[in-house]
A and B are shown apart, each in its own frame.
Chain A
Amino acid sequence: MSHFHVVIIGGGGTGGALAHDLTLRGLKVTLVERGEVTSGTTGRHHGLLHSGARYAVKDKESAIECIEENTILRRIAPGTFEENDGLFVAVTDEDVAYSHSFIEGCGDCGIPAQRLTKEEALRLEPNLSEKTIMAVRIPDATMDAMRMPLRFFATAKKNGASVKPYTEVREILRQGNTVTGVKVVDHTSEKSYEIGADLVVNAAGPWCGKIADMVGVEVPIRPSPGVMVAVRGRWCNMVINRLNTSSDGDIVVPQRGLSVIGTSSWVVDDPDKLGLPSDHIQAMYDHGALMLPAIKDAPMRAAWSAARPLIGPRKADADTGRELSRTFKCFDHIDEGVEGFVTITGGKATTLRGMAEAAANVVCQKLGVDEPCRTRDVVLLPYTAYYA
């Protein structure tokens, strides 16, 4: 057991998975989150356990990460997913033309892809549009955006990690060029206190630029929100994707008795100020209905925005977030002359474990801890154990 103490800032899926990984490697871990855990982007995402197929043509690195993590998560978190697979559906000739590079891309990335005729697809999903021409089956699944990561938090806590919700980082403590801890306020009492650390990890998702500002280092992150719309009625059992390049409203994820349509994409400066453009809500209905026409008349249950932590130039002037890679990055800020401070960002909820492994490798290497990653095999506790 090493006596190094690591403080993780941010209680999203990334922070939770990192707490789990580092705890298994024998480190002492404190995770601080300003709100409830998963109250940032994590709880609010679309709920898709990606097969990687969405990225198989243009972003193979992401696609391979996804299919690997998809397989691992089903193994270490059994009973957390609606495991009904997914379809990519072609409704135009252009979609059909795309299907060739799509199936080839899936093959390159190790994603099982099965071509289906219109009739086969409609027998699996009777509400698909009559305009469906063909479809491809891939191993997508529905994930509960909160309860899946809660299993990492639960297991980390059981193994000794200290998880502190409602605890906001206000200042990063430094001695010279070395980060030595954080100053936090506990919002249940409004009392401030300091937590010393051998190393601090910034896992604040789209807020990680704000945390980096506290240290005076640069993280090339752009908060890129998207709108999602949940409608009443479960109009499909499988995840339904549009068989074409990524665009607005091209995925419908069924979940419980709802169908969730997403998403759009733009770029903002402040992850706390996303707004909810009405035209995006309408666009979700319109695009979703191209694949599942019944969506057009389904009553809305909720519409909301969430911000991706996309890697890219922080203050550049691109006006859409789509061209940035979905893959994740781990920054050791020693590059900028700051010791004891690491940022892990980007990625997807599907790749939380892989992101944590990469960050934990950097952390352990910096602290001189020689322990292998075990998170590929350790089966996680049920999410309810988080509240025990």
Chain B
Amino acid sequence: MAERKVELKVFRYKQGQTPHYDTYNVTVDENTTVLVALQDVRRDQDTSLILRHSCHHASCGTCGMRINGQEQLACVVKVLELGTPTVVVEPLQNAPLISDLVVDMAPFYDRYNTPEMPYIRASEFWPKTDLPDGIAQYTRYENCLECGLCVSACPVAGTDSEYLGPAAMAAAARVVAEPRDSDPEFALNWVDNEHGCWRCHVAYECTEVCPSDVNPGEAIMSLRGALTRRKFRRVFGLGK
């Protein structure tokens, strides 16, 4: 296993103090992720460094950060694959900073919760199978990891603090596509305003960084389409 030395330049901030960057030399091999390298720093060099992490396999969505300026999940980015002698690590943008690489996810979930997003969806994988007795359909978790990478990358979220944001609107679009026990009309009304789907610039920076195939940009377009169709139906008196 080829070990190499790399420099990590990490954004640091402790409450009441001035933000700055600290540089750490770390030894990594081809399996070492940015997350593991940061944990090694914490263990061997600086116990004060904090970051969010949990699942270590792109499932929980907690380890989002900017790595060399790009929003990524630290648990699936290999340090050596970045190919830079210095790797710059910074917290997500457009979320309140708590300390170091930790941001406050409360505003994210405030929005995300609003359309009553069910977390379980029908599984579309291998649809032509039998089902075990007593199981009405195979189910799975929704794609969105709630990582906030899209919100960090979104230029509109950076200028309009009330913008609903790509993840929450993608969640609303999922409710419209597959309501389950939620109300799609409520979700549509919720996004139908100047901080909602009409505010989006449609440059798809969100889709670009999404690690979980959610495609929020496209989801926002689908909400616009659904709202436009609803409006026409109402104007022409074709029911709801």
List residues of chain A with CB under 8 Å of any chain B CB: 35-36, 38-39, 42-44, 47, 79-85, 120, 123-127, 137, 142, 144-147, 166, 168, 187-190, 228, 230, 234, 236-238, 254-258, 260, 272-273, 276, 278, 281, 301-304, 306, 383-384, 387-388
Cα separation A147 to B36 with both chains bound (whole Å): 22
A43 touches B123 (CB 8 A): no
Q: Which of B138-146, B192-200, B220-228, B230-238 contacts A (4 or more CB under 8 A)?
A: B138-146
Residues of A within 8 A of B128 (CB): 126
Residues of B within 8 A of A38 (CB): 54, 60
A82 touches B141 (CB 8 A): yes
Residues of A within 8 A of B135 (CB): 83-85
Q: Which 8 A-B pairs have the closest CB atoms?
A: A43-B54, A302-B57, A304-B56, A237-B138, A188-B99, A387-B109, A123-B130, A230-B57
Would you call B25 an interface residue if the criterion is a C-beta within 8 Å of the partner chain's C-beta atoms?
A: no
Known: A39-B54, A83-B135, A387-B105. A146 touches B130 (CB 8 A): no
B139 touches A39 (CB 8 A): no
Further contacts, 9 of them, CB under 8 A, given A230-B58, A256-B212? A36-B53, A44-B56, A84-B135, A147-B119, A234-B125, A255-B141, A256-B143, A257-B212, A302-B75
Among A124, A188, A281, point to the contact of B50 (Cβ < 8 A): A188
Cα separation A26 to B239 with both chains bound (whole Å): 53
Residues of A within 8 A of B141 (CB): 82, 142, 144, 255-256
- For A147, A168, A306, A383, which residue has the most chain B Cβ atoms within 10 angstroms? A147
**How many CB-defined contacts (below 8 Å) exist between A and B?**
169
B130 touches A124 (CB 8 A): yes
Cα separation A39 to B59 with both chains bound (whole Å): 13
B interface: dominant SS: loop
Residues of A within 8 A of B76 (CB): 301-302
B113 touches A384 (CB 8 A): yes
Instruction: List the A residue with the shortest CB-CB distance to B32.
Output: A276
User: Within the complex, what minimum Cβ distance (angstroms) separates B240 from chain A?
Assistant: 28
Among A36, A47, A146, A234, point to the contact of B123 (Cβ < 8 A): A234
Residues of B within 8 A of A278 (CB): 1, 31
B139 touches A84 (CB 8 A): yes
Cα separation A188 to B138 with both chains bound (whole Å): 42
Cα separation A387 to B103 with both chains bound (whole Å): 12
Residues of A within 8 A of B108 (CB): 387
